[in-house]
């Protein structure tokens, strides 16, 4: 008996962007040196038409933020750029709000703001009793093409639904489980080959409901869970 393995289409682009919003020093109590970090993580997902340079729409997921203080026992450990970069990476990796972005190993290095490192090195050289504070925004973006949208439709609904005696809404022929795709927004189902031309319109051809917006939470979860890219689903 044939079973379908569901997979997520790989993103066509994913990127991490960091901007430092402000940084400043102020005197710390008891002559300690501390680094304070306020972080504003954002993630977004978008879909682009095949060959298009920009996504036609994207959804922002607002993050949380907090101010976390890291006491530095020996400021001498922050007096070179390389050492400061390493120490900052460790601090940022400890921030719970950044964990929600589920960064890869490569992406962690990109999270350390380059403009902050020399400022911390300078502060660490000047005095022991300062707090160095910086506020940063971290934005992780994932873009899928229509194939990703098509895969999300399958994965979300088809596995749990019985197609029964349904016919394809486009060609009116009978649907088989192996060849069918059900929309995320409604109960309408189509042959994969029939809907694949239409999917760039991002609406259901039967009822014109928005296809991809209802799927965004699931696609976000899959995109940021680092699910292995397996390409198109196989029939086993």
**C-beta of residue 204 within 8 angstroms of C-beta of residue 212:** no
Minimum CB separation of residue 167 from Zn ion in Å reads: 8
Q: Tell me how far apart the alpha carbons of residues 44 and 83 are, in angstroms, rounded to a whole number.
A: 32
164 φψ region: left (φ > 0), alpha (ψ -120 to 50), beta (else): left
Minimum CB separation of residue 24 from Zn ion in Å reads: 54
Minimum CB separation of residue 105 from Zn ion in Å reads: 41
Q: Which of 140, 157, 191, 192 touches Zn ion by CB under 5 A?
A: 191
Window of 6-14, 81-89, 206-214, 225-233 that interacts with Zn ion by CB under 5 A = 206-214
Quick check: 215 binds Zn ion (CB under 5 A)? no
Q: Tell me how far apart the alpha carbons of residues 7 and 131 are, in angstroms, rounded to a whole number.
A: 48
Q: Which is nearer to Zn ion, 119 or 186 (CB)?
A: 186
Report the candidate in 110, 134, 119 with the shortest Cα–Cα distance to residue 17.
110
Minimum CB separation of residue 188 from Zn ion in Å reads: 3
Quick check: 84 binds Zn ion (CB under 5 A)? no
Q: Which of 188, 202, 211, 233 touches Zn ion by CB under 5 A?
A: 188
Q: Which residues pair with 48 in a beta bridge?
A: 145
**C-beta of residue 185 within 8 angstroms of C-beta of residue 214:** yes
Interface residue list for Zn ion (CB under 5 A)? 168, 170-171, 186, 188, 191, 194, 204, 206-207
């Amino acid at each position: 008996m044939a079973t379908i393995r569901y997979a997520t289409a790989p993103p066509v682009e994913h990127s991490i962007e960091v901007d430092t919003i402000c940084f400043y020093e102020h005197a710390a109590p008891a002559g300690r040196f501390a680094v304070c970090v306020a972080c504003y993580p954002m993630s977004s997902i978008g879909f682009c038409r095949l060959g298009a340079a920009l996504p036609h729409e994207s959804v922002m997921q607002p993050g949380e933020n907090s101010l976390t203080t890291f006491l530095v026992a020996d400021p001498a450990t922050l007096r070179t750029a390389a050492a400061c970069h390493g120490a900052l990476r460790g601090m940022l990796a400890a921030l719970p709000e950044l964990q929600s972005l589920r960064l890869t190993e490569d992406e962690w290095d990109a999270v350390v703001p380059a403009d902050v490192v020399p400022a911390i090195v300078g502060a660490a050289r000047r005095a022991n009793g300062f707090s160095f504070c910086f506020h940063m925004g971290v934005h992780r973006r994932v873009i899928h093409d229509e194939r990703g949208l098509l895969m999300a439709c399958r994965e979300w609904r088809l596995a749990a639904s019985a197609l029964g005696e349904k016919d394809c809404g486009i060609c009116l022929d009978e649907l088989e489980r192996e060849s069918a795709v059900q929309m995320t927004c409604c109960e309408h189902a189509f042959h994969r080959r029939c809907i694949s031309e239409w999917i760039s319109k991002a609406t259901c051809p039967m009822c014109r409901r928005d296809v991809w917006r209802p799927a965004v939470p699931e696609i976000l979860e899959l995109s940021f869970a680092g699910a292995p890219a397996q390409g198109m689903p196989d029939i086993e």
